[in-house]
């Protein structure tokens, strides 16, 4: 038996009408002609493998196709009531063709069910009619019903957005339109219901995308936005809605496959749309035309597959029709994206086409394509679990009109960044963007103190070290941000105090730094919080000044600020910072969320990138860095560590740009400690002075400090650590 493969270029993943049309073709061929037929997606078109050749496929639809009895007697405008357009329903009722017999029987059943009604039922009467339809219909008619209506446990109806509100969209009833389109394609007065001449040409256009004319001015509803007409849709001010009748017929035939299942109805959690296959609540994230405040009916993600599948295999996939995050069903686009990134969906799906049912073009609802999501496992997805509940809390409390718009926007930016990580998880910049979004959202909470306290919101939870691997793009910015964020105070013995993170200078935190400090009905104000702006220089210098003051209050002789071992900056990265080549805003934006790292689980530095370049500007920096070293410095193995007491005047003069007097003070301080700098005069501008001061917020390794002391002071070390390209001559200029 020869198998013919049809490249149905008239069926594509977008718009929705053409996607559903493809499924309708597979369903009808498999049910009515060739049970072995298979379909799949490739090169933006649907492919059908069947025993039917091209001519036989056309003849099937023109001469043998038995339309599914798609009716909605519960709707006004459905053709069952006196004021309705009856051209389609009457033509089918009068037809003598055998292939329309099931349709005639369904119409008669509907008429008997509403006998005596002059208009469509409302309230309890409508619910009773819907329950009767659910109990009395079988086969394809029942499949249509379950795609358009969901009955809850008490028998009350709700309507998945794919088919509007129970098979209609406003004044457009899909079922009546379906019957009218059938009457337009087939001569229902003929005993065989032969196809009209135009039907042949329109079928070729619908199946193969062949060029041709003959589209008519019919309403299409939400399924084909490009043909829906309206303002600015064509030459002139407005355009008409145009339609190929076969597109509409095959589209509704395909929509029947998306029937809600019992399992999904049980997991819908109060959301009717969630009972439909692969349907979630909407969220204005992850697509370019997203806008807050748009009215919508949710979203639906439609599967695409590249391996040939039978109708039964497709039905099994759609009957399951859900995605999982662990034991939780995906209820939002972010959840669905996370499930796709973890392959939390049925196997065999290669991608999802995302659609949102959004009110646009006036008050018309349109099925808007929102992007393609490939199904492939993405790395580091477990990291999102650490912050998912925190972001969900932001989203929940800021929903509606009660919460501050700034927090709602922050939650949306977090969702955008999460989706980007789900789509492109191997790209470190995506994870950096997520960290930045989280840090900005956390900062926003402190700027809405009363709301944050009332809602019991918390600071970012502890982040695992995996975030560093995910976000490491080899840039100096991420390494300097890590060094900045790793800073802690020191104990009286000069050791790192893990209970004294610099995070307390950014946010009002309790002693454990896991909750916000609350005072009354708002966040607690504290003189410790000095880092409140989005400028690295302002924040960094304020941090240094505050730590110097606290050190003086505690009687500590050195600057009480050290980095977590392994997280320190390298001299190469410091050199890049001093030359002004780096993105300082990104450094600060990354440092904020990295302060939430669980430093007890941090082991070892990021992989270092070699910077083979002269480091001449480190000469002056080295003097200042040594003058602010936070603990005794073991310069020689055979000598006691050198203690260099801090002189607050050095930082003060640097911050006002007085490089000469600041360098003189640093030289005197080092000389008094027993180190004799080679440098006697340092020249430079005020900008260099401030940058050197700011560079103090990036801790460096003790070995690098020893190297600087060996190059810059006398007597020189017997053994100088080798950092690759630096010479004493370069450092002295």
Domain termination site, one of 328, 356, 377: 377
How many CB atoms are located within 10 Å of the residue 573 CB? 24
Confidence of residue 275 (pLDDT cuts 50, 70, 90): low
Residue 695 has pLDDT above 90, yes or no: yes
Q: In whole angstroms, how far apart are CA 58 and each of 3, 51, 55, 405?
A: 16, 13, 5, 56
Q: Specify whether 198 is located in the same domain as 291.
A: no
Which of the listed ranges 176-185, 492-501, 524-533, 667-676 does the model predict with the highest average pLDDT? 176-185
Q: Specify whether 481 is located in the same domain as 414.
A: no
- 677-701 mean pLDDT: 90
Confidence of residue 228 (pLDDT cuts 50, 70, 90): low
- 572-587 mean pLDDT: 94
* Inside any domain, residue 610: no
pLDDT digits (tens, 9 = 90+) for 19-46: 999 999 999 999 999 999 999 999 999 9
pLDDT for residue 230: 45
Confidence of residue 236 (pLDDT cuts 50, 70, 90): very low
* Inside any domain, residue 161: yes
Domain termination site, one of 432, 463, 494: 463
Residue 262 has pLDDT above 60, yes or no: no
Which residues, in sequence order, are CB contacts of 235 under 8 Å at separation 6+? none
Confidence of residue 167 (pLDDT cuts 50, 70, 90): very high
Residue 57 has pLDDT above 80, yes or no: yes
Q: Specify whether 213 is located in the same domain as 128.
A: yes
* Inside any domain, residue 392: yes
- pTM here is 0.87
What does the alpha-carbon distance between residue 112 and residue 106 come to, in Å, rounded to a whole number? Answer: 10
Phi then psi for residue 310, to 5 deg, are: -80, 170
Which residues, in sequence order, are CB contacts of 627 under 8 Å at separation 6+? 644, 646, 647, 650, 665, 666, 669, 670
* Inside any domain, residue 303: yes
Confidence of residue 135 (pLDDT cuts 50, 70, 90): very high
pLDDT for residue 271: 52
* Inside any domain, residue 571: yes
Of all residues in the chain, what percent carry a pLDDT higher than 70?
A: 89
Residue appearing with tokens 């919460």: 403
What's the mean per-residue pLDDT of the chain?
A: 88
463: which DSSP letter? B
What does the alpha-carbon distance between residue 5 and residue 275 come to, in Å, rounded to a whole number? Answer: 34
Confidence of residue 47 (pLDDT cuts 50, 70, 90): very high
Tally of domains within the chain: 5
Q: Specify whether 299 is located in the same domain as 342.
A: yes
How many CB atoms are located within 10 Å of the residue 405 CB? 10
Q: Specify whether 113 is located in the same domain as 245.
A: yes
Domain termination site, one of 412, 445, 463: 463
Q: Specify whether 371 is located in the same domain as 395.
A: no
* Inside any domain, residue 51: no
pLDDT digits (tens, 9 = 90+) for 371-427: 999 998 899 999 999 999 999 999 999 887 777 899 999 999 999 999 999 999 999
What's the burial of 115, exposed, middle or buried (CB within 10 Å: 0-12/13-18/19+)? Answer: exposed
Q: Specify whether 545 is located in the same domain as 626.
A: no
Judging by DSSP bridges, how do beta strands 279-280 and 296-305 pair with one another? Answer: antiparallel
Q: What is the 3-state secondary structure (H, E, C) of 118-147?
A: CCCCCHHHHHHHHHHHHHHCCHHHHHHHHH
How many CB atoms are located within 10 Å of the residue 628 CB? 22
pLDDT for residue 269: 47
pLDDT for residue 494: 78
Q: Specify whether 92 is located in the same domain as 156.
A: yes
pLDDT digits (tens, 9 = 90+) for 306-328: 999 999 999 999 887 766 666 66
* Inside any domain, residue 174: yes
3-state DSSP assignment of residue 176: helix
Q: Specify whether 202 is located in the same domain as 120.
A: yes
What does the alpha-carbon distance between residue 139 and residue 124 come to, in Å, rounded to a whole number? Answer: 26
What's the burial of 629, exposed, middle or buried (CB within 10 Å: 0-12/13-18/19+)? Answer: buried
- 533-541 mean pLDDT: 97
Of all residues in the chain, what percent carry a pLDDT higher than 90?
A: 70
pLDDT digits (tens, 9 = 90+) for 277-286: 888 888 888 8
Q: Specify whether 219 is located in the same domain as 300.
A: no
pLDDT for residue 611: 45
* Inside any domain, residue 289: yes
Which one is predicted more confidently, 236 or 620? Answer: 620
- Which residue range is the domain that position 371 belongs to? 262-377
Q: Specify whether 663 is located in the same domain as 555.
A: no
Q: Specify whether 400 is located in the same domain as 428.
A: yes
């Amino acid at each position: 038996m020869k198998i013919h493969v049809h490249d149905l270029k008239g069926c594509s993943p977008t718009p929705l009408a053409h996607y559903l049309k493809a499924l309708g073709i597979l369903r009808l061929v498999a049910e009515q002609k060739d049970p072995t037929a298979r379909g799949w997606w490739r090169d933006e078109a649907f492919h059908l493998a069947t025993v039917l050749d091209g001519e036989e496929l056309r003849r099937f639809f023109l001469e043998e196709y038995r339309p599914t009895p798609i009716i909605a007697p519960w709707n006004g405008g459905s053709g069952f009531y006196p004021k309705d357009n009856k051209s389609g329903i009457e033509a089918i009722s009068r037809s003598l063709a055998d292939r329309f017999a099931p349709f005639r029987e369904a119409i008669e059943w509907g008429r008997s069910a509403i006998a005596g009604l002059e208009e469509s039922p409302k309230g309890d009467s409508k619910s009773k009619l819907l329950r009767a339809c659910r109990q009395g219909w079988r086969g394809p008619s029942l499949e249509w019903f379950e795609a358009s209506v969901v009955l809850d446990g008490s028998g009350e109806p709700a309507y998945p957005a794919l088919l509007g509100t129970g098979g209609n969209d406003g004044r457009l009833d899909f079922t009546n339109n379906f019957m009218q389109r059938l009457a337009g394609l087939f001569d229902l007065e003929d005993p065989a219901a032969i196809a009209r001449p135009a039907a042949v040409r329109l079928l070729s256009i619908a199946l193969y995308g062949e060029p041709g004319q003959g589209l008519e001015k019919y309403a299409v509803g939400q399924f084909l936005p490009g043909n829906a007409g309206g303002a600015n849709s064509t030459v002139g001010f407005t355009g008409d809605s145009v339609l190929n009748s076969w597109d509409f017929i095959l589209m509704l035939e395909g929509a029947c496959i998306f029937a809600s299942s019992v399992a999904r109805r049980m997991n819908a959690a109060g959301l009717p749309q969630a009972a439909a296959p692969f349907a979630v609540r909407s969220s204005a994230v992850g697509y370019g035309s997203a806008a807050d405040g748009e009215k919508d009916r949710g979203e639906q993600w439609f599967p695409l597959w590249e391996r040939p599948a039978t109708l039964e295999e497709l039905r099994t996939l759609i009957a399951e029709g859900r995605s999982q995050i662990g034991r939780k069903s995906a209820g939002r686009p972010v959840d669905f994206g996370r499930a796709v990134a973890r392959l939390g969906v049925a196997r065999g799906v290669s991608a999802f086409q995302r659609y949102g049912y959004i009110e646009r073009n006036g008050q018309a609802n349109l099925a808007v394509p929102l992007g393609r999501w490939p199904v492939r496992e993405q790395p580091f997805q477990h990291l999102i679990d650490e912050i998912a509940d925190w972001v969900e809390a932001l989203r929940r409390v800021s929903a509606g009109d009660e919460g501050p718009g700034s927090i709602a926007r922050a939650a949306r930016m977090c969702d955008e960044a999460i989706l980007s990580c789900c789509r492109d998880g191997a790209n470190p910049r995506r994870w950096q963007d997520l960290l930045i979004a989280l840090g900005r959202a956390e900062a926003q909470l402190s700027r809405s103190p009363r709301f944050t306290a009332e809602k019991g919101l918390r600071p970012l939870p502890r982040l695992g070290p995996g975030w560093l691997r995910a976000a490491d793009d080899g840039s100096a910015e991420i390494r300097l941000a890590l060094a900045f964020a790793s800073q802690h105070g020191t104990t009286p013995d000069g050791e790192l105090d893990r209970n004294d993170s610099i995070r307390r200078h950014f946010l009002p935190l309790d002693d454990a730094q896991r909750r916000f400090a609350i005072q009354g009905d708002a966040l607690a104000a504290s003189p410790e919080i000095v880092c409140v702006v989005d400028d690295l220089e302002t924040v960094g210098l304020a941090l240094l000044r505050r730590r110097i003051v606290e050190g003086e209050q505690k009687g500590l002789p050195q600057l009480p600020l050290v980095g977590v071992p392994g997280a320190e900056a390298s001299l190469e990265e410091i050199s890049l910072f001093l030359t002004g080549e780096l993105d300082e805003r990104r450094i600060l934006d990354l440092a904020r969320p990295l302060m939430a790292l669980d430093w007890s689980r941090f082991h070892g530095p990021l992989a270092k990138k070699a910077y083979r370049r002269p480091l001449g500007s480190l000469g002056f920096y080295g003097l200042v860095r040594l003058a602010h070293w936070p603990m005794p410095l073991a310069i020689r193995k055979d000598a006691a560590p050198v203690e260099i007491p801090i002189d607050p005047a050095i930082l003060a003069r640097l911050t006002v740009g007085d490089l000469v007097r600041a360098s003189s003070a640093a030289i005197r301080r080092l000389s008094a400690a027993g180190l004799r700098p080679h440098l006697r005069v340092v020249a430079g501008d005020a900008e260099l002075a401030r940058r050197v001061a700011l560079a103090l917020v990036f801790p460096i390794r003790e070995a690098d400090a020893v190297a600087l002391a060996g190059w810059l002071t006398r007597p020189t070390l017997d053994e100088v650590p080798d950092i690759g390209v630096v010479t004493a001559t370069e450092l002295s200029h």
